[in-house]
A = this chain, B = another copy of it.
């Protein structure tokens, strides 16, 4: 089964959802709830530049009535190597070709591994992550082939994989545009303003120029929805 299709939940089934606090992970958590899963949210406090997203994750978990949330500190600034975890400046010139400096080395591998450990320990068989291969920044660990690779590994790596049952990595947004994701949020009755996307906030306001701001703003414009984001300066220019 393709990873973007949410499998029907059996009674009482739990799903671990990687909840960053962004628009994408908010929609994923709501979609898993809608599909009937008990949602166990995993939020990684990786000492990211935009730590404000953690507050958004808490807000979302409360608004969605999520059963359990773990905030896990993991200081990836010890490794550095990214504009999000070191003093490298966040690029502001617009989404370009190639992998940008906001790529955090092996981040989704690390986060999915942690979700896998949490899922196995708490008896969840499903792990959901809001990766997206259309309106994204070109990160290698958001591509379908990465997700397939992790799916294969999960079944080799774990007791549950070896003993037969295995895990399912679910990526409901994989083939959606940001506009489609914004429309999903709207359909689900979610206040998109609860979520946080900007990589380089100032005093609780979004910069309006980083890739995350641009992709998010483009999504609202293309969806014909109001952009609830509070920007430090002008809103991103779209189109």
Chain A residues packing against B (C-beta within 8 Å): 70, 72-76, 78-82, 99, 103-110, 112-114, 116-122, 140-141, 143, 145-146, 149-150, 152-154, 156-159, 161-163
Contact = CB atoms under 8 A, between A and B. Distances in A.
A161 to B, nearest CB: 7
Contact of A79 (B80, B105, B121): B121
B108 A157 contact: yes
B103 A107 contact: no
Contacts of A110: 110, 113-114, 116-117
B116 A140 contact: no
Nearest to A146: B156
A140 B157 contact: yes
B116 A105 contact: yes
A121 B158 contact: no
A174 to B, nearest CB: 15
Contacts of A80: 121
B116 A109 contact: yes
Contacts of A104: 117
CB-CB nearest 8 A-B residue pairs? A81-B121, A105-B120, A106-B117, A79-B121, A106-B116, A110-B113, A113-B113, A149-B153
A82 B122 CA distance: 11
Nearest to A155: B149
A113 B109 contact: yes
A140 B73 CA distance: 26
A72 B117 CA distance: 17
A154 B70 CA distance: 26
A81 B122 contact: yes
A117 B107 contact: yes
Contacts of A82: 121
Nearest to A85: B121
A162 B105 contact: no
Given A72-B74, A99-B163, A106-B116, 11 more contacts: A105-B116, A105-B121, A105-B158, A106-B113, A106-B114, A106-B117, A106-B158, A107-B117, A141-B157, A149-B149, A150-B153
Contacts of A72: 74-75, 78
A226 B72 CA distance: 42
Contacts of A156: 140-141, 143, 145-146, 149
Nearest to A144: B156
